[in-house]
Amino acid sequence: MAEARIISHMNGDHSRELSHYLRHYAGLSPRAASRPWLKSLSLDSMTIAAGGLSGREFVVPFNPPMTSLSEARTRLVAMDADARAALGLSDIYIDKYVPPTGVDAIVFAAVAFYFFSYATLGAVHPGNPGIWGLLNNWFPGGAMGWRRIVVIIFWPVIGIHIAESWWLARSRLHPHGVEVGTSLWWTWIASCAIEGFGTFKRIDRMVAEKRALKDSKQH
């Protein structure tokens, strides 16, 4: 039966699209629209259960109604495109974290070292001759210069990295389907909070690769 095949296919492979329908056509939040499943399908509408609302059902109409279930694929694809456009979502999804390598890894390590230096600044004092003497001999400006620089740049560094993390969430993670508060979202945000711009480059590269692969399959 065509209806059963469509329902099975949508529930098995297109739960993300079902969530988009609930968010756009039923006005649900991402959390409420999570874990959806298609319960029934007719020429006039489809009924989707929202897992985030304990299975509460929502009827999404087809406008205009279909004349045959053979139209379902085309209509569902078009409705998802409309939903994504309204929600500000791309058709390319980020589904993994890519760690820094090369120059990005060096930047990550350098910034992580700075935060470590700030966290351990209390150990840098004349009463700790090992560290104090090492900095006096190694760092331009000596140990006191080290302390001043670490303290002075702290809030600018924090401000810049918070701004970068906010922009990453808004311009990269949200459009590419990474939901706020998930482990993947936190991993990317934490990485950006440390290394900054490198996370943008890696996401853009991943999206470009996925786009090229998707385009190649359509030709």
The model's pLDDT over 130-141, given as tens digits with 9 standing for 90+, comes to 788 788 888 888
pLDDT at 124 over 90: no
| Backbone dihedral angles phi then psi of residue 189, each to the nearest 5 degrees | -65, -45
Helix (H, G, I), strand (E, B) or coil at 117: helix
Indicate the domain borders of the chain. 2-87, 102-217
Orientation of helix 102-119 relative to helix 198-217, angle to 10°: 150
Q: How confident is the model at residue 125 (pLDDT cuts 50, 70, 90)?
A: confident
List, for residues 190-219, the tens digit of each pLDDT value. Answer: 999 999 999 999 999 999 999 999 888 776
Q: What is the mean pLDDT of residues 102-112?
A: 94
> What's the pTM value of the predicted model, to 2 decimals?
0.83
User: Are 189 and 92 in contact, with CB atoms under 8 Å apart?
Assistant: no
Q: What is the mean pLDDT of residues 183-193?
A: 97
Domain 2-87 fold is Split barrel-like (3.20.180)
The pLDDT score that the predictor gives to residue 219 is: 60
Lowest mean pLDDT among 65-69, 136-140, 167-171, 215-219: 215-219
pLDDT at 83 over 80: yes
For 2, what's the count of Cα atoms within 13 Å in the CB-facing half-sphere?
Answer: 9
Mean pLDDT taken over the chain: 93
User: Is the model more confident about 99 or about 143?
Assistant: 99
Q: What is the mean pLDDT of residues 129-158?
A: 88
